[in-house]
Structure 1
Amino acid sequence: MKNTLYLLLIACFSLVSCQGNAQKKTKKEQFKVQKTDAEWEKELTAEEYYILRKAGTERPYSSKLNKIKEPGTFVCAACEHPLYKTKYKFDSGTGWPSFDRPIEDGIFYSTDNKLGYTRDEVLCANCGGHLGHVFNDGPTETGKRYCMNGDAMHFIAAKQ
Protein backbone atom coordinates (compact mmCIF):
# COMPACT_ATOMS: atom_id res chain seq x y z
CA MET A 1 0.00 0.00 0.00
CA LYS A 2 2.81 2.40 0.93
CA ASN A 3 4.67 1.69 -2.34
CA THR A 4 1.48 2.30 -4.35
CA LEU A 5 1.02 5.68 -2.68
CA TYR A 6 4.62 6.68 -3.46
CA LEU A 7 4.22 5.60 -7.10
CA LEU A 8 0.98 7.58 -7.37
CA LEU A 9 2.64 10.70 -5.90
CA ILE A 10 5.61 10.37 -8.27
CA ALA A 11 3.27 9.94 -11.28
CA CYS A 12 1.22 13.02 -10.28
CA PHE A 13 4.36 15.12 -9.74
CA SER A 14 5.71 14.05 -13.14
CA LEU A 15 2.50 15.02 -14.94
CA VAL A 16 2.26 18.42 -13.24
CA SER A 17 5.90 19.33 -13.84
CA CYS A 18 5.76 18.58 -17.61
CA GLN A 19 4.92 21.87 -19.27
CA GLY A 20 5.93 21.23 -22.86
CA ASN A 21 8.08 24.39 -23.11
CA ALA A 22 9.66 23.20 -26.36
CA GLN A 23 6.52 24.25 -28.23
CA LYS A 24 6.11 27.65 -26.57
CA LYS A 25 7.37 30.80 -28.24
CA THR A 26 9.16 33.41 -26.20
CA LYS A 27 7.67 36.90 -26.09
CA LYS A 28 10.35 38.19 -28.47
CA GLU A 29 9.62 35.53 -31.13
CA GLN A 30 5.97 36.60 -31.40
CA PHE A 31 6.67 39.91 -33.12
CA LYS A 32 6.95 40.55 -36.86
CA VAL A 33 9.71 43.17 -36.57
CA GLN A 34 12.89 41.64 -35.16
CA LYS A 35 16.06 43.70 -34.61
CA THR A 36 19.09 43.49 -32.36
CA ASP A 37 19.52 45.86 -29.43
CA ALA A 38 22.32 47.57 -31.35
CA GLU A 39 20.03 48.17 -34.34
CA TRP A 40 17.27 49.60 -32.14
CA GLU A 41 19.74 51.84 -30.30
CA LYS A 42 21.02 53.21 -33.62
CA GLU A 43 17.52 53.92 -35.00
CA LEU A 44 15.77 55.37 -31.95
CA THR A 45 16.41 58.48 -29.89
CA ALA A 46 17.91 57.85 -26.45
CA GLU A 47 14.53 58.40 -24.77
CA GLU A 48 12.65 56.20 -27.26
CA TYR A 49 15.21 53.42 -26.79
CA TYR A 50 15.02 53.68 -22.99
CA ILE A 51 11.22 53.38 -23.03
CA LEU A 52 10.55 51.04 -25.95
CA ARG A 53 13.45 48.61 -25.55
CA LYS A 54 14.30 48.86 -21.83
CA ALA A 55 10.72 49.30 -20.50
CA GLY A 56 11.49 52.72 -19.07
CA THR A 57 9.02 55.43 -18.10
CA GLU A 58 9.12 59.10 -19.05
CA ARG A 59 8.48 61.86 -16.53
CA PRO A 60 4.78 62.69 -16.15
CA TYR A 61 3.56 65.80 -18.02
CA SER A 62 6.67 65.79 -20.22
CA SER A 63 5.07 64.54 -23.45
CA LYS A 64 3.91 66.91 -26.17
CA LEU A 65 1.36 64.21 -27.09
CA ASN A 66 -0.65 65.02 -23.95
CA LYS A 67 -2.08 68.13 -25.62
CA ILE A 68 -3.04 66.59 -28.98
CA LYS A 69 -6.79 66.63 -29.62
CA GLU A 70 -6.94 66.79 -33.42
CA PRO A 71 -8.14 63.68 -35.30
CA GLY A 72 -5.41 61.20 -36.12
CA THR A 73 -3.54 58.06 -35.15
CA PHE A 74 -0.87 57.44 -32.54
CA VAL A 75 1.71 54.97 -33.90
CA CYS A 76 4.68 53.12 -32.41
CA ALA A 77 7.79 55.33 -32.49
CA ALA A 78 9.92 52.29 -33.39
CA CYS A 79 7.96 50.75 -36.26
CA GLU A 80 5.05 53.13 -37.07
CA HIS A 81 2.47 50.43 -36.24
CA PRO A 82 -0.99 52.00 -35.53
CA LEU A 83 -1.87 51.87 -31.83
CA TYR A 84 -4.56 54.39 -30.83
CA LYS A 85 -7.00 56.91 -32.34
CA THR A 86 -7.42 60.42 -30.96
CA LYS A 87 -11.16 59.85 -30.56
CA TYR A 88 -10.39 57.36 -27.75
CA LYS A 89 -7.93 59.67 -25.96
CA PHE A 90 -8.83 61.36 -22.68
CA ASP A 91 -7.13 63.43 -19.98
CA SER A 92 -6.57 61.00 -17.11
CA GLY A 93 -4.84 63.59 -14.92
CA THR A 94 -1.82 61.28 -14.62
CA GLY A 95 0.52 63.21 -16.93
CA TRP A 96 0.72 60.52 -19.60
CA PRO A 97 -1.31 60.19 -22.82
CA SER A 98 -4.28 57.97 -21.96
CA PHE A 99 -6.80 56.08 -24.09
CA ASP A 100 -9.80 53.92 -23.33
CA ARG A 101 -9.15 51.40 -26.12
CA PRO A 102 -6.50 50.47 -28.69
CA ILE A 103 -6.80 49.97 -32.42
CA GLU A 104 -7.64 46.34 -33.20
CA ASP A 105 -4.44 44.25 -33.41
CA GLY A 106 -2.41 47.29 -32.36
CA ILE A 107 -1.12 46.06 -29.03
CA PHE A 108 0.09 42.95 -27.22
CA TYR A 109 -0.38 42.31 -23.50
CA SER A 110 2.28 41.03 -21.14
CA THR A 111 2.80 41.07 -17.38
CA ASP A 112 5.14 43.31 -15.47
CA ASN A 113 6.24 42.52 -11.89
CA LYS A 114 9.02 45.12 -11.62
CA LEU A 115 7.36 47.06 -8.78
CA GLY A 116 6.68 44.02 -6.63
CA TYR A 117 3.12 43.50 -7.87
CA THR A 118 1.63 42.43 -11.19
CA ARG A 119 0.63 45.03 -13.76
CA ASP A 120 -0.69 44.55 -17.30
CA GLU A 121 2.03 45.76 -19.62
CA VAL A 122 1.18 47.05 -23.10
CA LEU A 123 3.57 46.33 -25.98
CA CYS A 124 3.45 47.15 -29.68
CA ALA A 125 1.96 44.10 -31.43
CA ASN A 126 4.35 44.57 -34.36
CA CYS A 127 7.79 45.06 -32.73
CA GLY A 128 7.24 44.31 -29.04
CA GLY A 129 8.24 47.78 -27.90
CA HIS A 130 7.14 48.73 -24.36
CA LEU A 131 4.43 51.39 -24.51
CA GLY A 132 3.03 51.57 -20.98
CA HIS A 133 0.38 49.82 -18.89
CA VAL A 134 -3.39 49.31 -18.84
CA PHE A 135 -5.49 49.78 -15.73
CA ASN A 136 -9.12 49.01 -14.90
CA ASP A 137 -10.00 52.51 -13.69
CA GLY A 138 -10.95 54.29 -16.91
CA PRO A 139 -13.85 56.75 -17.01
CA THR A 140 -15.66 55.44 -20.12
CA GLU A 141 -17.84 52.40 -20.77
CA THR A 142 -14.71 50.28 -21.40
CA GLY A 143 -13.50 50.89 -17.85
CA LYS A 144 -9.93 50.86 -19.19
CA ARG A 145 -7.11 53.40 -18.96
CA TYR A 146 -4.25 52.72 -21.35
CA CYS A 147 -1.54 54.88 -19.80
CA MET A 148 1.14 55.30 -22.48
CA ASN A 149 4.57 56.88 -22.65
CA GLY A 150 4.42 59.71 -25.17
CA ASP A 151 8.02 59.10 -26.28
CA ALA A 152 7.00 55.57 -27.30
CA MET A 153 4.62 56.99 -29.92
CA HIS A 154 4.41 59.41 -32.84
CA PHE A 155 1.25 61.18 -33.96
CA ILE A 156 -0.02 61.16 -37.54
CA ALA A 157 -2.77 63.71 -38.15
CA ALA A 158 -5.79 62.61 -40.16
CA LYS A 159 -5.92 63.93 -43.71
CA GLN A 160 -8.57 66.61 -44.08
Structure 2
Amino acid sequence: MFPIELKALRRNLGLTQAEAAQALAANVDFPHGASAEEWAQWENGAAPIPLHVVRAVETRLNQKYQAIDQYAEQLEAQMQGGNAVVVLWYPEPNACPDLASWRISQSVAGEVAAMGGRVIAFDAEAYRNWRQGQAQTADTPDNRQRWAQEQFEQSR
Protein backbone atom coordinates (compact mmCIF):
# COMPACT_ATOMS: atom_id res chain seq x y z
CA MET A 1 0.00 0.00 0.00
CA PHE A 2 1.31 3.43 -0.91
CA PRO A 3 1.26 6.20 1.70
CA ILE A 4 -1.31 8.27 -0.22
CA GLU A 5 -3.56 5.20 -0.42
CA LEU A 6 -3.39 4.83 3.36
CA LYS A 7 -4.52 8.44 3.68
CA ALA A 8 -7.34 8.02 1.15
CA LEU A 9 -8.58 4.83 2.78
CA ARG A 10 -8.42 6.33 6.28
CA ARG A 11 -10.56 9.20 5.06
CA ASN A 12 -12.93 6.73 3.41
CA LEU A 13 -13.41 5.21 6.86
CA GLY A 14 -14.11 8.66 8.30
CA LEU A 15 -11.22 8.55 10.77
CA THR A 16 -8.77 11.26 11.75
CA GLN A 17 -5.10 10.32 11.92
CA ALA A 18 -5.31 10.11 15.73
CA GLU A 19 -8.43 7.92 15.60
CA ALA A 20 -6.96 5.61 12.97
CA ALA A 21 -3.71 5.34 14.90
CA GLN A 22 -5.56 4.26 18.01
CA ALA A 23 -8.24 2.08 16.39
CA LEU A 24 -6.36 0.43 13.53
CA ALA A 25 -2.74 0.22 14.65
CA ALA A 26 -3.30 -1.71 17.87
CA ASN A 27 -1.73 -5.18 17.97
CA VAL A 28 0.79 -7.10 20.09
CA ASP A 29 3.58 -4.66 19.22
CA PHE A 30 1.33 -1.60 19.59
CA PRO A 31 -1.06 -2.55 22.43
CA HIS A 32 -2.40 1.00 22.69
CA GLY A 33 -2.25 1.74 19.00
CA ALA A 34 0.12 4.26 17.52
CA SER A 35 0.38 8.01 17.86
CA ALA A 36 -1.08 10.46 15.37
CA GLU A 37 2.50 11.44 14.55
CA GLU A 38 3.40 7.85 13.66
CA TRP A 39 0.31 7.60 11.47
CA ALA A 40 1.25 10.87 9.74
CA GLN A 41 4.72 9.45 9.02
CA TRP A 42 3.15 6.40 7.38
CA GLU A 43 0.88 8.62 5.28
CA ASN A 44 3.67 10.93 4.12
CA GLY A 45 6.12 8.10 3.40
CA ALA A 46 8.59 9.02 6.16
CA ALA A 47 8.19 5.54 7.69
CA PRO A 48 7.10 2.21 6.22
CA ILE A 49 3.47 1.24 6.83
CA PRO A 50 3.36 -1.81 9.13
CA LEU A 51 1.72 -4.84 7.52
CA HIS A 52 -0.73 -5.20 10.40
CA VAL A 53 -1.97 -1.65 9.72
CA VAL A 54 -2.53 -2.46 6.04
CA ARG A 55 -4.47 -5.57 7.06
CA ALA A 56 -6.53 -3.66 9.65
CA VAL A 57 -7.49 -0.99 7.10
CA GLU A 58 -8.42 -3.63 4.53
CA THR A 59 -10.48 -5.55 7.11
CA ARG A 60 -12.46 -2.46 8.10
CA LEU A 61 -13.08 -1.51 4.47
CA ASN A 62 -14.28 -5.05 3.76
CA GLN A 63 -16.68 -4.79 6.71
CA LYS A 64 -18.02 -1.50 5.39
CA TYR A 65 -18.56 -2.67 1.84
CA GLN A 66 -20.02 -6.04 2.86
CA ALA A 67 -22.61 -4.17 4.92
CA ILE A 68 -23.38 -1.82 2.02
CA ASP A 69 -23.70 -4.80 -0.35
CA GLN A 70 -26.13 -6.54 2.01
CA TYR A 71 -28.28 -3.43 2.20
CA ALA A 72 -28.11 -3.03 -1.59
CA GLU A 73 -29.57 -6.52 -1.98
CA GLN A 74 -32.35 -5.62 0.45
CA LEU A 75 -33.00 -2.41 -1.47
CA GLU A 76 -33.48 -4.42 -4.67
CA ALA A 77 -36.10 -6.50 -2.85
CA GLN A 78 -37.70 -3.28 -1.57
CA MET A 79 -38.08 -2.07 -5.16
CA GLN A 80 -39.93 -5.30 -5.95
CA GLY A 81 -42.47 -4.56 -3.19
CA GLY A 82 -40.57 -5.90 -0.19
CA ASN A 83 -40.24 -4.29 3.22
CA ALA A 84 -38.63 -0.89 3.58
CA VAL A 85 -34.90 -1.09 4.21
CA VAL A 86 -34.02 0.50 7.54
CA VAL A 87 -30.53 1.20 8.84
CA LEU A 88 -29.56 2.49 12.26
CA TRP A 89 -27.78 5.80 12.85
CA TYR A 90 -25.82 5.74 16.09
CA PRO A 91 -25.54 9.33 17.37
CA GLU A 92 -22.89 8.41 19.96
CA PRO A 93 -19.82 6.17 19.58
CA ASN A 94 -20.55 4.27 22.81
CA ALA A 95 -23.41 2.44 21.05
CA CYS A 96 -20.80 0.57 18.97
CA PRO A 97 -17.94 -1.74 20.01
CA ASP A 98 -15.29 0.83 19.07
CA LEU A 99 -14.78 4.16 17.32
CA ALA A 100 -13.91 2.63 13.95
CA SER A 101 -17.12 0.57 14.03
CA TRP A 102 -19.09 3.71 14.83
CA ARG A 103 -17.57 5.66 11.94
CA ILE A 104 -18.22 2.74 9.59
CA SER A 105 -21.84 2.50 10.74
CA GLN A 106 -22.31 6.21 10.02
CA SER A 107 -20.82 5.81 6.57
CA VAL A 108 -23.00 2.78 5.83
CA ALA A 109 -26.11 4.66 7.00
CA GLY A 110 -25.27 7.51 4.66
CA GLU A 111 -24.76 5.15 1.72
CA VAL A 112 -28.01 3.31 2.43
CA ALA A 113 -29.92 6.60 2.68
CA ALA A 114 -28.40 7.70 -0.64
CA MET A 115 -29.59 4.44 -2.24
CA GLY A 116 -33.17 4.91 -0.99
CA GLY A 117 -33.10 3.24 2.41
CA ARG A 118 -34.50 4.75 5.58
CA VAL A 119 -32.39 5.84 8.56
CA ILE A 120 -33.58 5.51 12.16
CA ALA A 121 -31.67 7.16 15.01
CA PHE A 122 -30.71 4.70 17.72
CA ASP A 123 -32.22 5.51 21.12
CA ALA A 124 -30.56 3.31 23.75
CA GLU A 125 -33.27 3.81 26.37
CA ALA A 126 -36.15 3.15 23.96
CA TYR A 127 -34.32 0.09 22.66
CA ARG A 128 -33.73 -1.22 26.20
CA ASN A 129 -37.45 -0.76 26.98
CA TRP A 130 -38.40 -2.52 23.75
CA ARG A 131 -36.16 -5.47 24.59
CA GLN A 132 -37.76 -5.80 28.02
CA GLY A 133 -41.25 -5.65 26.50
CA GLN A 134 -40.37 -8.24 23.87
CA ALA A 135 -38.59 -10.53 26.33
CA GLN A 136 -35.53 -10.01 24.12
CA THR A 137 -32.85 -9.76 26.76
CA ALA A 138 -29.89 -10.05 24.42
CA ASP A 139 -28.47 -6.96 22.76
CA THR A 140 -27.76 -8.35 19.30
CA PRO A 141 -27.51 -6.81 15.83
CA ASP A 142 -30.66 -8.72 14.83
CA ASN A 143 -32.62 -7.33 17.78
CA ARG A 144 -31.39 -3.81 17.02
CA GLN A 145 -32.52 -4.24 13.42
CA ARG A 146 -35.96 -5.52 14.50
CA TRP A 147 -36.32 -2.54 16.85
CA ALA A 148 -35.36 -0.13 14.04
CA GLN A 149 -37.85 -1.72 11.66
CA GLU A 150 -40.62 -1.36 14.25
CA GLN A 151 -39.66 2.27 14.89
CA PHE A 152 -39.90 2.97 11.18
CA GLU A 153 -43.27 1.23 10.84
CA GLN A 154 -44.66 3.18 13.82
CA SER A 155 -43.47 6.48 12.33
CA ARG A 156 -45.32 6.01 9.03
TM-score relative to the length of structure 2: 0.25
- Higher helix fraction (1 or 2): 2
- Higher strand fraction (1 or 2): 1
